[in-house]
Chain A
Amino acid sequence: MNLILRRIQKGDLKAFESLFKELYSPLCLYANKYLQDKDKAEETVQDIFYGIWKNREKLDIRVSFKSYLYKAVQNNCLQQIQHHLVEDKYKQYVKSEVAHFHSDPAKEMELQEMNEVIEQTLDSLPERCKEIFSMSRFEGLKYREIAEKLEISTKTVEANMGKALQAFRQNLKQYVGVNS
């Protein structure tokens, strides 16, 4: 079941690297939700990977590697927050911020999967459509600004945005249970 774990236990650096490259960024995002500090989030995730490599021979993982990592990040972050709990502002902050997002690693993994579907969908859109959607959603440009930049009408922008959104829903159909 855990082929990658076995390869890592044997000292396969390539396997370790590909695991790292696949999960580093999503795990950092997850850690950042707890820590609200990007540098600390990166440090935490790197430490966890470091520990995995160092103790690889002793690792005993019964769940998937991915679940294990998400859980490890969560534990580590909670410990760090606990550490700060003595400070009042942190108390306040934990109450207000952390309580707001679902802290369940399983849900976070599902979210991550959805992100992957979104990325794939984005890549499958016609070039123009992808460009327009990215400018609006990711770069925060107004329809009018997009139209000017690409020398097209705002109607075309509108139409492409609708088309993209429909494609996303189509591909995300299977994920019905998630509420953000």
Chain B
Amino acid sequence: MVFEEINKKDWEAIATYLSGEMNQQEAVDFEKRVAASKENEAYFKQVKTDWEIMENLKQKNTFDTNKAWGNLYNKMEQDGLLDTKSSINKFKLSRLAEIAAIFVVGILLTTLLYYIVSDTTKKNWQVADTYESPEIRTIKLSDGSVVYLNAESKLYFPEAFEGDVRIVEFEGDGFFEISKNPNKPFIIKAKNAEIRVLGTSFNVNTKAGNDRVEVLVETGKVQLTATKNKSIHKVLEPGFIGTLDNNNIKKEINTDINYMAWKTRTFNFEGVPLKKAVEALNRAYNVNIVCNDDRINNIKLVSPFQNKPLDTVIQVLCELEHLKFEKQGNNIVLMPK
């Protein structure tokens, strides 16, 4: 083994040595060969360093950067460190108060008109829903936008978008890919929320709680507004989740890595507690998996699943975590083996 002409067999020997696969005799022989020349020794030391540095990589994933960013972001927001523009706005506001008042009247009138217009044009509207079939349904709209409906969801939309805005109505859980048109905003009405975009992709879920509407942004920017009080609104950027509850909007970094799994069919359960995994599965497969045992609920899972039927997922989970399942009516109950 000489520095310049180290060959395939030597590399294999080094790897076998470093990974501890040699028996004692082999290891002794190997060390002798290394010690035979200064060059060998120096070179081997380098390779050994490479090997040892990789120890860092093992640990690298123990820190959850996205979660940490979420923490930091929330803390900065709480402490008012994110309103970089607020001081400027306040100043201008007082000077513009008069003009603003005029605009408010204008906006009110426009809004009124827009409701009248949108109601009269509803004649040519269609409805698509997924109440009967559990499959994800894809709907192409006349402007090229695409909507994916998860189970038990419904979309009302016009045959063609006329006027200055593109409006649809929505209930349930769905992913929207809105084609870009800066001159014609796209508006989704969902429960008490109005979601306004120019061209972007995002998820809307109205099934997360009674009056709750959740919006997760994948690309572009989305404005979430409370229909009953238009002054309540927030702009959401990619990776953020906005939650409208009654008349309050919360904006947070999304920390649920499986939020979009219903559509991607890719579940990453590594380090995820069983309880969270069950929520993701229930949402994606439209089933009711139940587990009332807290010890089981807190088990951290290890396996990813991609495009697997529910039966397989449940069987593998049970096998790996030493659980069993029982079908009780509409529920699938998980319990210790």
Using a CB–CB cutoff of 8 Å, the interface residues on chain A facing chain B are 11, 13, 17, 20-21, 24-26, 28-29, 32, 38, 42, 45-46, 49-50, 53-54, 111, 114-115, 118-119, 136-138, 142-143, 158-159, 161-166, 168-169, 172, 176, 178-180
Contact = CB atoms under 8 A, between A and B. Distances in A.
B15 A161 contact: yes
The 6 A-B residue pairs whose C-beta atoms are closest, nearest first, are A162-B12, A162-B11, A161-B15, A11-B84, A28-B63, A24-B65
A42 B81 CA distance: 21
A171 to B, nearest CB: 9
Q: Helix, strand, loop or mixed for chain A's interface?
A: helix
A118 B81 contact: no
A41 B212 CA distance: 37
7 contacts: A45-B68, A54-B79, A115-B56, A118-B53, A118-B57, A143-B19, A162-B14
Contact of A137 (B12, B19, B65): B19
Contacts of B16: 143, 158, 161
Nearest to A22: B65
B69 A24 contact: yes
Given A53-B81, A164-B15, A25 B60 contact: yes
Contact of B57 (A24, A119, A158): A119
B75 A50 contact: yes
A88 to B, nearest CB: 29
B128 interface: no
**Interface size bracket, B side:** 35 or more
B54 interface: yes
Contact of A161 (B19, B66, B84): B19
A162 B53 CA distance: 17
B82 interface: yes
A46 B12 CA distance: 43
A140 to B, nearest CB: 9
Interface in B6-64: 8-16, 18-19, 21, 45-47, 49-54, 56-63
Contacts of A163: 8, 11
A148 B315 CA distance: 23
B219 interface: no
A13 B238 CA distance: 13
B158 to A, nearest CB: 36
B57 A115 contact: yes
Contacts of B14: 162, 165
Nearest to A21: B65
B72 interface: yes
A46 B57 CA distance: 21
B71 interface: yes
B76 interface: yes
B39 to A, nearest CB: 13
Contacts of A24: 63, 65, 68-69
A176 B59 contact: no
Contacts of B53: 111, 114-115, 118, 178, 180
B49 A137 contact: no
Contacts of B68: 20, 24, 42, 45-46
A145 B53 CA distance: 24
B71 A180 contact: no
A117 to B, nearest CB: 10
B47 A165 contact: yes
A49 B72 contact: yes
A179 B48 CA distance: 10
Nearest to A17: B69
A143 B21 contact: yes
Contacts of A114: 50, 53
A24 B54 CA distance: 18
